[in-house]
A and B are shown apart, each in its own frame.
Chain A
């Protein structure tokens, strides 16, 4: 049965999160935009406390212990799973509040998602439990290097197994690590670092490793100054003979010749994270469109629906087109997380959602500024900030072009070799 009824737990969560967005994010949005690299601890501490109390937003598995007389897993499983849907709605609402501040949310972000997607049950228990501890904890993903971005198979960071100590020794430099500083220096977190265990094996040698805060030889060397999302730290990390335990590798330690299974397995992380990043873009787009409609209403302009285009004013036409873009992109996000919840393979849908969200949030914020003219260009309103914040959606977690490539390969049935 095709259905579009928002599940009750999501509706309740949205109600609460909107309050957070309105009261804890919007009032400080401008401040943290203008004070780059300051950390929004009020928001962070509040969210940590709230998420700990409710369990919301966490990918961490529930504690193993079970009290007697408690419901069995089977009974609980009756309802269709909505974990990823909850998360997508949460991210959308928080990004509606402020996407830069949202990126400072404790709870593991993309780093935890990578462990969740590619880790063993033991690894999940070991690395994800910390997010329920007393103090807020962060995690990050380190993929990009100075010489390569989208072409992740070209990374040069190496991981060599020291058989004497049974440790991986990591060497290399990572850039553009979202929340890298907070993960390594401001909390007891970790960074999932991508490295090659065999530089001659190409993609087949690619693996990711959990590098915990406090690991000797790991250093944050730089924080970037950016166009937008300035509340979020974007770190450079140098790994110099950094040693991590053998069991910190995500995926198989063996190289399988003539297959890129290890790489593909690790790439599966993106099927889970791309729709979530798309959700953040949709949040910014919705914030923008709502404010534009509010400003129009103040001048007595109400949008008329149902008319032929030939009768609409330009402003009406633009707004209506934005509504189409926004809603259709959001539905792509919901479908792809619904698939993730129901364990349906979703690489195609995840990339569609991400590319669409990147397209529409840049388009909507750009158009909104054009429509609102001099008002929009002023820092009195947040429109110009959202315009700057929006652009990152089309870049990180796979640029719009990379996601087009993924979609194209899927619909054409082509491998990476057939469609480069």
Chain B
């Protein structure tokens, strides 16, 4: 059957996240962007909503089953508050979810309980590389098998909380296939660089990480000695971006819609001009269309349907265009005011461009 109604449980989760997004994140997003970070309490409060914990089974210290669809709903709602904050709250998922999806039994037992049972801790992952054609499927960071261990070499950027993290997953190219490796951040050859500044996620502390002949024991390859199929990780990364793009776009749409209904022009509200009203109609349609595509992809991943990975990729591609279109128009609808940092739409436009190139920075 087809159905487009979230379950009661999902609705309760969305409601709780919505309150956090509106009351905490939206109010603090501007200052957090200008001041390069959120107070720890905010991140902790977001963590206590239990989005990740509810994705980890009881056997590993959590209290639920992993559902990408629920993750999509949750990520949209939190990103409706703020994109950078959502990435920060969910940073431990970059470490926990790959282990949950692809890790060996031993790895799950070792790493998941301390994350699921504890407060927010800076577990992280290094994925993105400094090249215009950075490709999840063909990374330049390499893993080479040597004396029963792996030697990692390469350069990673945008690694959240790398300065505080003790453990991270590093993705590297092993004979043409992307594989994850669980790394001690203070291992020999790992250099955490300066904090990086970007156009639109200032509130998320991100770092360059250089790997010079870093030795990783074979059993710390994700999935154990046998390794793993990276597909579930890519699906989750694509859908995380799509979901957060939906949240940011919805925020931008609603703000510009409400502004247009207040702002007077030539004796009427600016929203009463078709030039503006049609822009808003197209924004709303675009968001709804891409939301359904994202939901379907997430449902397909959860139900292990054929073509699920392709669908997750399509959802992400659609979402990056949606986000750029919607956030650009939100600024345009506010006119000169949209360009001023007192209004949030310029931040959303800076966020909006990011969904095309920040794949790997979020997982659900």
Contact = CB atoms under 8 A, between A and B. Distances in A.
A308 B296 CA distance: 22
A227 interface: no
Contacts of B136: 306
B318 A324 contact: yes
A306 B1 contact: no
A418 B296 CA distance: 36
Contacts of B132: 310
Interface string A302-336: 00011111110000000011011001110110110
A121 interface: no
B202 interface: no
Contacts of B257: 411-412
Contacts of A328: 289-290, 292-293, 318
Contacts of A300: none
Contact of A306 (B10, B234, B284, B296): B234
B317 interface: yes
Contact of A310 (B7, B133, B303, B309): B133
B314 A327 contact: yes
A334 B2 contact: yes
Contacts of A69: none
Contacts of B311: 327
Contacts of B309: 305-306
A16 B79 CA distance: 44
What range describes how many residues of A lie at the interface?
35 or more
A338 B4 CA distance: 8
A334 B4 CA distance: 10
Interface residues of B, number: 51
A306 B359 CA distance: 11
Nearest to B359: A308
A324 B314 contact: yes
A7 B299 CA distance: 15
B356 A338 contact: no
Contacts of A329: 289
Interface string A371-414: 00000000000000000000000000000010011011101101
A5 interface: yes
A164 to B, nearest CB: 47
B16 interface: no
A409 B313 CA distance: 33
Given A2-B5, A2-B69, A320-B314, A405 B292 contact: no
A414 B271 contact: yes
Given A404-B282, A407-B284, A4 B272 contact: no
A307 B318 contact: no
B1 A411 contact: no
Interface in A1-20: 1-7
Interface of B is mostly: helix
Interface in A349-370: 349, 352, 355-356
A352 B2 contact: no
A1 B292 contact: no
A419 interface: yes
- Provide the main secondary structure of the chain A interface: helix
A418 B272 contact: yes
A55 B68 CA distance: 39
Q: Which of B69, B290, B299, B317 has the largest number of chain A CB atoms within 10 A?
A: B317
A85 interface: yes
Contact of B293 (A6, A7, A327, A409): A327
Contacts of A257: none
B313 A7 contact: no
B285 interface: yes
Most buried by B among A305, A338, A339, A356: A305
B261 interface: yes
Contacts, number: 139
Interface string A266-284: 0000000000000000000
Contact of B292 (A307, A332, A418): A332
Given A4-B300, A324-B314, A329-B289, A307 B137 contact: yes
A358 to B, nearest CB: 11
B118 interface: no
Contacts of A352: 284-285, 288-289
Given A306-B137, A310-B133, A414-B272, A2 B290 contact: no
A401 B278 CA distance: 8
Contacts of B313: 305-306
A408 B277 contact: yes
A331 B289 contact: yes
Given A306-B309, A307-B135, A335 B292 contact: yes
A80 interface: yes
A404 B7 CA distance: 31
A324 B277 contact: no
A191 to B, nearest CB: 32
Chain A CB count within 10 A is highest, among B271, B277, B280, B315, for B277
A308 B135 contact: yes
Interface in B126-140: 132-137
A1 B7 contact: yes
Contacts of A414: 271-272, 277
Given A329-B289, A404-B281, A419-B277, A2 B4 contact: yes
Contacts of B314: 305, 320, 323-324, 327
10 contacts: A1-B7, A4-B300, A328-B289, A328-B293, A355-B281, A408-B277, A411-B281, A414-B271, A414-B277, A419-B274
Interface of B: 1-7, 10, 69, 132-137, 234, 257, 260-261, 271-272, 274, 277-278, 280-282, 284-285, 288-290, 292-293, 295-296, 299-300, 303, 309-311, 313-315, 317-318, 321, 356-357, 359
Interface of A: 1-7, 80, 82, 85, 305-311, 320-321, 323-324, 327-329, 331-332, 334-335, 338-339, 349, 352, 355-356, 401, 404-405, 407-409, 411-412, 414, 418-420
Given A411-B280, A419-B272, 7 more contacts: A2-B299, A4-B2, A5-B2, A85-B2, A308-B134, A338-B3, A419-B277
